[in-house]
Amino acid sequence: MKRVLVTGGAGFLGSHLCDRLVAEGSKVYALDNLHTGSVKNIEHLLALKDHFEFIEQDVCEPLELEVDEIYNLACPASPIHYQENPIRTFETSVLGTRNMLLLAKKHGAKLLQASTSEVYGDPQVHPQVESYWGHVNPIGIRSCYDEGKRGAETLCFDFRRVHGLRVKVVRIFNTYGPRMHPQDGRVVSNFVVQALQGQDLTVYGEGQQTRSFCYYSDLIEGIYKTMQTPDDFLGPINLGNPHEFTILELAKKVLELVPESATGGGGSRASVSRIIYRELPADDPTQRRPDIGLAQGVLGWTPQVELDEGLRATIAHFKKSLLQ
Ligand code: NAD
Ligand code: UDP
């Protein structure tokens, strides 16, 4: 049985990845310090003792575990959470990744690093291709995350050059879906929860900044496929949905779809929520869209779930979970 470690395994993406790996028959170890993750996300796996184990631990702390593969996802991903303790965020990315690379080296394991579109910063090349080096503020409020993830990429490539380690780097673009924490703070969960609770939707700035939203199931498939690529494929590889929306368009879509969910698809009820405008946070990227040519070519991967369908499923999830 393949032994696979998923750090950040109790988080939004990590827990879905654990589901996928358990389903294919691996023995999965989920390591998480529960900073932004929750045991609720992996509760259903805890009973499968031969296939799943939870290790409550910080990714920076020493770990002795014989594994064949490591998916390194441990890191708060939402701006409000990664900015709460920026020094810790930077350490989690850099020291946590170093710790996992050393573990991979010890056991000859393969490591996949969850990097991010944030390595492109506020991009001056659009859409973003992997060969673009980015436009990142090294000393701003997002730097703990952006530079932390860039440092983690550097470590992966240096462990490859120095120690011949098998590494893969995926650059994930905004991904959403069930199991995001209702107070996660990222835009999709914020808008959906606000609309479901009849609160106004908080658009930052004028809402003209863009993002491209990927549904979690597509992303998990992309991550999984990247791990299966030949050892000489390291990436970095963009994973995301290439359809781009302004944040204002997203808000309007949510306002359309949430009442529709209340009327069982009839869509006749108007939303009680309005759109309100709040200050744009510093260094907020103005545009973001992945060029996924590499993923299409190397992985034969293209996202299948478009925004309306993914939002409907996400709304249904939050409707249920907010009632519990
Ligand atoms: P998330 O916050 O739900 O998951 C992160 C998980 O890591 C949480 O369970 C958290 O408790 C855990 N964690 C944080 N610090 C830790 C530490 N020091 N030790 C152990 N565990 C720790 O967010 P997510 O969206 O699931 O993100 C997962 C990974 O994917 C992150 O590395 C993130 O940077 C990356 N990513 C996500 C997106 C996205 O849009 N979802 C985009 C780009 C990159
Ligand atoms: N955003 C917003 N309202 C919110 C949360 C976020 O308008 O309640 C905006 C935010 O300013 C950014 C975009 O939505 O321009 C995406 O934000 P998120 O935190 O989801 O991810 P990131 O900025 O890291 O892409």
Write down the pLDDT at residue 322. Answer: 87
Q: Rounded to the nearest whole angstrom, what is the distance from the C-alpha of residue 259 to the centroid of ligand 2? A: 22
**Would you state the structure tokens that stand for residue 99, as one six-digit string?**
């710790």
Residue 183 lies in a domain: no
Asked if residue 186 belongs to a domain, the reply is no
Q: In angstroms, what is the span from residue 187 Cα to ligand 2's centroid?
A: 5
Q: Is there a contact between 298 and 233 (Cβ–Cβ < 8 Å)? A: yes
d(CA 25, CA 277): 48
Task: Say if ligand 1 is within 6 A of residue 32 CB.
Answer: yes
How remote is the CA of residue 10 from the centroid of ligand 1, in Å? 9
Atom of ligand 1 nearest to the CA of 179: 3
Confidence of residue 269 (pLDDT cuts 50, 70, 90): low
Q: Is 34 in the pocket of ligand 1 (CB under 6 A)?
A: yes
> Residues 310-324: pLDDT tens digits?
999 999 999 998 877
Phi-psi domain of 201 (left: phi exceeds 0; alpha: psi -120 through 50; beta: other) = beta
Q: Where are the beta strands (DSSP E) in 37-179?
A: 52-56, 69-72, 110-116, 167-172, 175-176
Question: What residues are paired with 71 via a beta bridge?
Answer: 6, 112
Q: Is residue 279 part of a domain?
A: no
- Contact predicate 198/142, CB 8 Å: no
Is residue 263's pLDDT more than 70? no
Identify whether the C-beta of residue 170 lies closer than 8 Å to the C-beta of residue 223: yes
* Catalytic center residues: 145
309 within a domain of the structure (yes/no):
no
State the ligand closest to the CA atom of 240. 1
* Residue 114 resides in a domain: yes
Q: Could you identify the residue written with the tokens 């034969």?
A: 300
Supply the CATH number for residue 141's domain.
3.40.50.720
Inside any domain, residue 312: no
Strand-pair category, 210-212 with 244-246:
antiparallel
Whole-number Cα distances in Å, 73 to 128, 179, 196, 237, 251? 22, 15, 29, 15, 28
**Looking at the CA of 92, which ligand is closest?**
1
Distance between Cα 225 and ligand 2 center (Å): 28
Q: What burial class does residue 69 get, using C-beta atoms within 10 Å of its C-beta: 0-12 exposed, 13-18 middle, 19+ buried?
A: buried
Q: Whose CA is nearest to atom 33 of ligand 1?
A: 77
Query: What pairs with residue 4 in β-bridges?
Result: 28, 69
Task: Give the number of the ligand closest to the Cα of residue 280.
Answer: 2
DSSP string, 34-60: -SS--GGGTHHHHT-TTTEEEEE--TT
Please tell me if the CB atom of residue 200 comes closer than 6 angstroms to any atom of ligand 2: no
pLDDT tens digit sequence for 43-92? 999 999 899 999 999 999 999 999 999 999 999 999 999 999 999 999 99
Mean pLDDT of the chain: 96
Query: Is 203 a domain residue?
Result: no
Give the number of the ligand closest to the Cα of residue 192. 2
DSSP 135: B
How many structural domains comprise the chain?
1
How many C-beta atoms surround the C-beta of residue 185 within 10 A? 19
Looking at residue 271, what is its pLDDT?
A: 79
284 lines ligand 2 (CB under 6 A): yes
Distance of alpha carbon 89 from alpha carbon 105, whole angstroms: 24
Q: 45-51 contacts: CB < 8 A, separation 24 or more?
A: 45/15, 45/18, 45/19, 48/22, 51/22, 51/25, 51/26, 51/27
Domain containing residue 40:
3-177+214-241+287-304
**Ligand 2 pocket check for 204: Cβ under 6 Å:** yes
Q: Tell me, in angstroms, the distance from the centre of ligand 1 to residue 268's CA.
A: 38
pLDDT band at 157 (very low <50, low <70, confident <90, very high): very high
Pairing relationship of beta strands 214-215 and 175-176 according to DSSP bridges? parallel
Q: Helices (DSSP H) in the chain: which residue ranges?
A: 12-23, 43-46, 79-84, 86-107, 143-163, 187-196, 216-227, 247-262, 293-299, 307-323
Average of per-residue pLDDT across 236-249: 98
Per-residue pLDDT of 43-56, as tens digits, reads 999 999 899 999 99
Percent of the chain predicted with pLDDT > 70: 98
Q: Is the CB of 218 under 6 A from ligand 1?
A: no
Residue 251 domain flag: no
* Mutational pocket test of ligand 2: of 175, 246, 247, 250, the residue with most ligand atoms within 8 Å of the beta carbon: 247
On whether the CB atoms of residues 258 and 275 are closer than 8 A, the answer is no
Would you place residue 259 in the very low, low, confident or very high pLDDT band (cuts 50, 70, 90)? confident
* Ligand 2 contact, 174 CB (< 6 A): yes
**How far apart (Å, rounded) are the C-alpha atoms in residues 156 and 72?**
11
Give the orientation angle of helix 187-196 with respect to helix 307-323, to 10 degrees: 60
C-alpha 76 to ligand 2 mean position (Å): 15
Q: How many CB atoms lie within 10 A of CB 249?
A: 14
How high is the pLDDT of residue 260?
Answer: 79
Does any ligand 2 atom lie closer than 6 A to the CB of residue 97?
Answer: no
And the tokens for 131? 């060969």
